[in-house]
A and B are shown apart, each in its own frame.
Chain A
Amino acid sequence: MRKSSSPLVYVTLLAAIALSAFPLYWLFVVASRSNDVVGDWPPPLVPGGNLFDNMNRLFEAENAHFLKGMVNSAIASLTITVSVVFFSTLAGFAFAKLRFRGKNFLLIAILGTMMVPVQMGIIPLYMIMVEFGWTNQLQAVIVPFLVSAFGVFLMRQYAERAVPDELIEAARVDGCSTFRIYWTVVLPALRPGAGVLALFTFMGAWNEFLWPLAVLEQDNPTVQFALNQLSTGYYTDYTLMFSGALVATLPLLVVFVISGRQIIGGIMEGAVKA
């Protein structure tokens, strides 16, 4: 922390925040208007009264399958998040605190794989899915993302600092199995970091677009897919698109509002520092 601040600092920061918030605000404004005002100049800057009307139309829009997209994305993102957090904390703990042969080599392997974007393998991945008969099935967008090299690395870094060795030793002396140590000692200590990892994993999964576009069909979409459908189909109008965009952002916003402090705490604790 440094010296206290001048009003200018507040003004600048508030301007930055206004810029951050404006597109979201405007999303809400258009989503609550009727279709006619879009494209008017000056643009509408105050919300209208059509929000629920538009929502109704959104969920009833033929062939957009928006509701199904929301449910699909919720299931997929939650499953992926829980799995990534679990496996990452588990492996991160092992790399940070346990001794085993080949540890360094395997850790470097993980660092290397961090640069492998799963998305680049989509062509054979697609072929695999065809082979499994998983095309247009929800598991096709879940299973390939159940682990993350980034997550393992992150949790390893965090565990190094956040888990005191004495606690582990104490638990060992008490006769705890390694998994029990993980469960009762390590996991609680990793919580802030794991929270940040969870949020980012959830966001990443919620926002995944390339792969669903390849492997899913319109009748069983994810939310981003459904949104894209809304913006290119015949049945488009602007308010519908914007309502969809708003609804697609809402779950993330809710998570953010509920756990924003912890997330910021986690980031500030250095959870995401390399």
Chain B
Amino acid sequence: MRRLTRTLAALTAAASLTALAACGGDDGDSASGKTTLVIKTFAQFGYEDLYKEYEAAHPDIEIKEENIAKLGDYAPKLQQWIATGSGAGDIVAIEEGNLSQYMTTPDQFVNLLDHGAGSLKGEYLDWKWDQALTQDGKHLVGLGTDVGAQGMCYRTDLFEKAGLPTDRDEVGALWPTWDDYLATGKKFTKAKTGAHFFDSAGSVYQNILMQQGDHTYYDTDNELVIDSNPAVKAAWDKTTELVDAGLSGNITPWSPQWNAGFKKGTFATIPCPSWMLGMIEQQSGEENAGKWDVAKVPGNGAVRGGSFLAVPKQSDHPEEAADLVKFLTSAKGQTTAFKAKGNFPSALKAIDSPEVKEYSAPYFSDAPVGEIFGESVKALKPVYLGPQNIAINDAVVAALTAVEQGKLSPDKAWDKAVADAERLVR
């Protein structure tokens, strides 16, 4: 026993020492005298090569990216970092759905206009620039990265099995509208390939919703209009119609089943904003190279998602961080990220550059994604989202899932979604 207690005591001492050591090194500057810039991102930004390039050009800077895979996990953490004044690092990525809430408290972020960003105004899509600018035009919270230009990803092998065309132009021609998409889905289902036509109601709904007009759950005065905005109900109705036809796989997005579904070919199509391409490629794996392709999305082009980079006030190195933000969001940076992960640029020079325009994605059967997404972006109008749009959207998607599960009729589910949204805003 004596020996045991002694060992235990020694272990405690050792453990607390290690604990202290493990907690010490968080002050952002490494021993080599370099400045470490911590950048927080979610999903995939495709910046790895850019970091290397920047570090090579700035030998005194070291870049550390901390990535949280799911936006749903990232958003509340970001809120926590910003509100508590610690943990945000030097640069944070902000998704457009979350940006609106930060625009009400811009002082939590460094004004990029103070760091010479003003001269960049003409470089970006106008509405992208304006989204991160306060109403008085004096405080620029962030610089735009990508826009979620829409495409429709599909599995050529499954389409072939179902006797559908596989050429992307012909596939795009199958569905000028969502009604045509529905008809194609019925044909596909009849062929009994064993796969679902699309992954989940939520994915499709999201796309249809963003094509409906210039606002969704809120009007521009931040009044909740979920029940009175015909656009929302229209997207809802079209989605439940697709579900009703038995086309949905009812596979929760971001679940392991969903991830595995890309590889196994559990669903034949998925509406894919540009930023999703990198993820599809990673999930499907090398063995499925060439099986995925990208076609035009039904309906008019639309944007879903897209992000910004901002420098939180709590950063110890605002000057250096702002400089890195400018580098990463420059036309050149955006082009590199686009090629790496498919994130479609919001910088005009990048959108119009032959490098982007003529780019085709090797993994996706050499689909000319530069062209497909480019057209989608041109057609789009910006959509106003409003403060609680993410939480409300979660509630709507949950209600749609209940419809998919056969637990609620579309009408009851709609009432529930509206009631939940109203309680959220209250």
Contacts and interface: CB of A to CB of B under 8 A. Distances in A.
A191 B1 contact: yes
Contacts of A237: 256, 259-260
A12 interface: no
Contacts, number: 91
A26 interface: no
B161 interface: no
Interface of A: 35-36, 38-39, 62-63, 71-72, 75-76, 78-79, 82-83, 85, 130, 133, 135-139, 142, 183, 187-188, 191, 217-219, 229, 231-238, 241
A232 B12 contact: no
Contact of B282 (A137, A139, A234, A241): A234
Nearest to B264: A39
Interface size class of B (residues with CB under 8 A): 35 or more
Contact of B15 (A79, A133, A232): A79
Nearest to B1: A188
Interface of B: 1-2, 4-5, 8-9, 11-12, 15-16, 18-19, 22-23, 26, 43-44, 66-70, 73, 77, 84, 86-87, 254-256, 259-260, 263-264, 279, 282-283
Nearest to B23: A137
A234 B86 contact: no
A175 B69 CA distance: 64
A75 B69 contact: no
Contact of A79 (B4, B5, B16): B16
Given A79-B16, A82-B12, A63 B260 contact: no
Contact of A78 (B15, B22, B283): B15
Contact of B256 (A217, A218, A219, A231): A231
Contact of A83 (B12, B255, B256): B12
A241 B16 contact: no
A232 B264 CA distance: 18
Given A130-B84, A233-B69, A39 B259 contact: no
Contacts of B86: 130, 133, 135
Given A63-B69, A232-B73, A238 B256 contact: yes
B123 to A, nearest CB: 30
Nearest to A133: B86
Contacts of A183: 5
